[in-house]
Amino acid sequence: MKIAILGGDGFVGWPTTLHLSALGHEVHIVDNLSRRWIDTELGVQSLTPMDSIQERCRIWREVTGRTIRFHLLNLATEYERLKAWLAEHRPDAVIHFAEQRAAPYSMKTDRHKVYTVDNNVGATHHLLAALVETGINAHLVHLGTMGVYGYSSVGAPIPEGYLDVEIDTPAGKRGQQILYPTRPGSVYHMTKSLDQILFQFYAQNDGLRITDLHQGIVWGTHTDQTRRHPQLVNRFDYDGDYGTVLNRFLIQAAIDYPLTVHGTGGQTRAFIHIQDSVRCIELALGDPPARGDRVRIFNQMTETHRVRDLAELVARLTGARVAYLPNPRKEADENELVVDNSQFLALGLNPTRLQEGLLTEVVDVAKRFAHRIDRSRVPAVSAWTKEIGERVDRDPERRAVRAAS
């Protein structure tokens, strides 16, 4: 199968690229490398050293004999080039990771909000329009987020995309399935919610074959393929904007930094290991909807945990201390989260659960590259409103106090 991976240089995109190439597919990365530019903007770098995308692809070929082709292209601003690329290469499947993926980054300033909407929604709509215009019958697999559902307690499992409802009609009650109502908690999550509406329209109007993966928070560092050579290592974000919560706890523990829990830590989140994430994409590719079907939606997660429970688990494992700080997000202090993920289990996913061995592996990686960490970039300080921003703790270590004494 010829597969275009849009955003293949990213946190989930790169290990997915290697995974699918190892399975024998012809893989093309299409990326504008914006995530690397954002590192420069934020003055931070991946914990793990990353070579250029060209060097990564060269090493993969050296190790495996398989070729991954890279194409520099901006989906959100270069529509005609995107359309021409699709017309020339005519992929069998398109995997869409090419969106700004961090909720905190999307809330930093008005400029970041505008960029996130323009980039994410623009890229998605350009892709959909180009697929229709070129007449390519490619299966589109999109990496969405569990965050489109919101994080309020509903008292029932969140279904996979669609909700059964009853409508009162003159002839009596009538059953119907609708898209699960969205309740985005950030501008980033809002763009993923808008993606859903775009997918729904283009599937029903133009017959595009679309799978939308509502993914939980990814943790872990390595996959089977990134382990094959040191230069194939995946990026690993630790900063307050892009680092995911469990990975951040593990890094904080490795460098003797307090485990920063925001609010009560009663927020319940869905999680998935990076190896399971790439496996889910493989499974979704193998089970495409037919032309004319509605959008197929999967909940791509394997387990749920409260944030404070994760912090206490890491503290017991490593001896780190937990610090409870004001929450920079506008969200409920406590919530329950029960999620239906039966479709991936039925397709054969064997979930990777939180295990001390895998957690220790992440800590070991963090210790190995601890010299690359800028401690001033660890706190999460991007606030959801200006009022909340006034309460944000920007110095959990109290370094300024010690320096003044």
Q: What is the pLDDT of residues 48-66, one digit of tens each?
A: 999 999 999 999 999 999 9
Amino acid at 94: V
Can you tell me whether residue 218 is helix, strand or coil? strand
Residue 6's DSSP bridge partners are 30, 96
* Residue 230, pLDDT above cutoff 50: yes
* Residue 398, pLDDT above cutoff 90: no
CB 274 within 8 A of CB 313: no
- Give the tokens for residue 199: 């997918």
CA distance 177 to 146: 19
CA distance 74 to 62: 28
* Residue 243, pLDDT above cutoff 50: yes
Can you tell me whether residue 308 is helix, strand or coil? helix
Domains assigned to the chain: 2-236+273-303+337-352 (3.40.50.720)
Residue 168's DSSP bridge partners are 173
CB 259 within 8 A of CB 249: yes
CA distance 89 to 34: 23
CA distance 339 to 392: 31
Alpha helix stretches (DSSP H) within 65-109: 79-89, 103-106
Place of tokens 């920079």: 328
Q: What is the pLDDT of residue 48?
A: 97
Count CA atoms closer than 13 A to 360's CA, side-chain side: 7
| Residue 155 binned pLDDT confidence (cut-offs 50, 70, 90) | confident
* Residue 404, pLDDT above cutoff 80: no
Q: Which helix (H) or strand (E) holds 17?
A: helix 13-22
CB 253 within 8 A of CB 314: yes
Q: What is the pLDDT of residue 405?
A: 45
Closest CA to 175 of 186, 164, 183, 187: 164
Q: What is the pLDDT of residue 355?
A: 80
**pLDDT tens, 317-360?**
999 999 999 999 999 999 989 999 999 999 999 999 888 778 99
- Exposed / middle / buried, residue 304 (Cβ in 10 Å: 0-12, 13-18, 19+): middle
CB 94 within 8 A of CB 138: yes
Amino acid at 141: V
Alpha helix stretches (DSSP H) within 207-306: 245-254, 274-285
Amino acid at 393: D
Q: How many CB atoms lie within 10 A of CB 156?
A: 10
Residue 256's DSSP bridge partners are none
| Residue 399 binned pLDDT confidence (cut-offs 50, 70, 90) | low
- Phi/psi for 346 (5° steps) reads -65, -30
* Residue 261, pLDDT above cutoff 80: yes
* Residue 403, pLDDT above cutoff 80: no
**pLDDT tens, 93-120?**
999 999 999 999 999 999 999 999 999 9
CA distance 143 to 101: 10
CA distance 285 to 139: 8
Q: What is the pLDDT of residue 19?
A: 98
Look up the pTM and report it. 0.96
Known catalytic residues are 145, 188, 192
Amino acid at 120: N
Full 3-state SS string of 124-155 = HHHHHHHHHHHCCCCEEEEEEEHHHHCCCCCC
Q: What is the pLDDT of residue 356?
A: 74
CA distance 235 to 47: 7
**pLDDT tens, 269-321?**
999 999 999 999 999 999 999 999 999 999 999 999 999 999 999 999 999 99
* Residue 400, pLDDT above cutoff 60: no
Q: What is the pLDDT of residue 79?
A: 98
Q: Where are the beta strands (DSSP E) in 312-371?
A: 322-325
User: b/e per residue, 128-153, with b = 16+ CB within 10 A?
Assistant: bbbbeebebebbbbbbbbbbbbbbee
Residue 71's DSSP bridge partners are 30
Average predicted confidence (pLDDT) for the chain: 95
